[in-house]
């Protein structure tokens, strides 16, 4: 499973990219609001740090407006993935941009049939929002499982499942078990994945025992 980071914070991205674990980045208008910097400048910087796909979301809602913005965003760098909402116009823009050779991430997916539509429209990625479904009392991970089954039934679709709105390490674990191709994860959750109390405890013991040997490794 590929790891994307879900943030527009360039410093966080730089830090995580240095681990070699980062395969891409997703941003959205809310994350841009937090970054509080010009979007095109932020996306250009991120694309220099990370070689993999970098999602940049359009703001318009109509076909012409989304297409115009998508083409502007796609020109920033070769690894820009234009993010469009799961609406009829969004799907039409997805088809047009995909035919032009631009990667497209269809976002705000909350049902398996929406995912099927996005795949048929040529999406590179479909983003089912797990956490936001969980918030409503519906098991978000079931959606990932359903989409996996459907996409496996029709491998010619070629769209990758990008598990989104992941809020904790269990979400990451279950996205991997469900066969998501990609997980986009907030920086704090990625950093938390390394943590286990038994790792800390075991390491403390090894450090203490090693110091008692009086040895050094030269």
Taking the complex as a whole, how short is the minimal distance between the CB of residue 34 and ligand E4P, in angstroms?
Answer: 11
Q: How many CA atoms lie within 13 A of 145 on its CB side?
A: 9
For the annotated catalytic residues, the residue numbers are 83
Q: Residue 60: which of 18, 40, 89 has the closest Cα? A: 89
| Residues whose CB is less than 8 angstroms from the CB of residue 155 and which lie 6 or more positions away in sequence, other chains included | none
Measured from the CB atom, the residue of 14 and 132 that comes closer to ligand E4P is 132
Residue 161 near residue 179 (C-beta atoms within 8 A): yes
Contact by Cβ (8 Å): 115, 136 = no
- Of 5, 16, 28, 182, which one interacts with ligand E4P (CB under 6 A)? 28
Does position 165 bind ligand E4P by CB under 6 A? yes
| Eight-class DSSP state of 2 | E
Bridge partner residues of 82 (DSSP): 56, 104
By CB under 6 A, tell whether 6 contacts ligand E4P: yes
For residue 56, the minimal CB distance to ligand E4P (Å) is 11
Q: In the complex with ligand E4P, which residue's Cβ is closer, 54 or 214? A: 54
Choice from 107, 114, 124, 159 touching ligand E4P (CB under 6 A): 107
Q: How far is the CB of 79 from ligand E4P (least distance, A)?
A: 16
Give how far the C-alpha of residue 104 lies from the chain's centroid of Cα atoms, to the nearest Å. Answer: 12
Sole binder of ligand E4P in the list 26, 81, 102, 124 (CB under 6 A): 26
């Amino acid at each position: 499973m590929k790891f994307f980071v879900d943030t527009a914070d360039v410093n966080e991205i730089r830090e995580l990219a240095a681990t070699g674990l980062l395969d891409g980045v997703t941003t959205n208008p809310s994350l841009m609001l937090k970054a509080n910097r010009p979007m095109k400048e932020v996306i250009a910087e991120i694309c220099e740090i990370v070689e993999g796909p970098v999602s940049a979301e359009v703001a318009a809602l109509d076909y012409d407006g989304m297409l115009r913005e998508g083409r502007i965003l796609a020109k920033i760098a070769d690894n820009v993935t234009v993010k469009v909402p799961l609406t009829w116009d969004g799907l039409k823009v997805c088809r047009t941009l995909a035919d032009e050779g631009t990667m497209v991430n269809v976002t705000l997916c909350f049902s398996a049939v929406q995912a099927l539509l996005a795949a048929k429209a040529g999406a590179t990625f479909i983003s089912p929002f797990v956490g936001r479904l969980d918030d409503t009392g519906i098991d978000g991970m079931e959606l990932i499982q359903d989409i996996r089954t459907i996409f496996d039934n029709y491998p010619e679709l070629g769209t990758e499942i990008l598990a989104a709105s992941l809020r904790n390490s269990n979400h990451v674990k279950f996205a991997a078990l469900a066969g998501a191709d990609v997980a986009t994860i907030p920086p704090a959750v990625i950093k938390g994945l390394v943590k286990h109390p038994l790792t800390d405890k075991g390491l403390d013991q090894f450090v203490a025992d090693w110091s008692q040997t009086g040895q050094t490794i030269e």
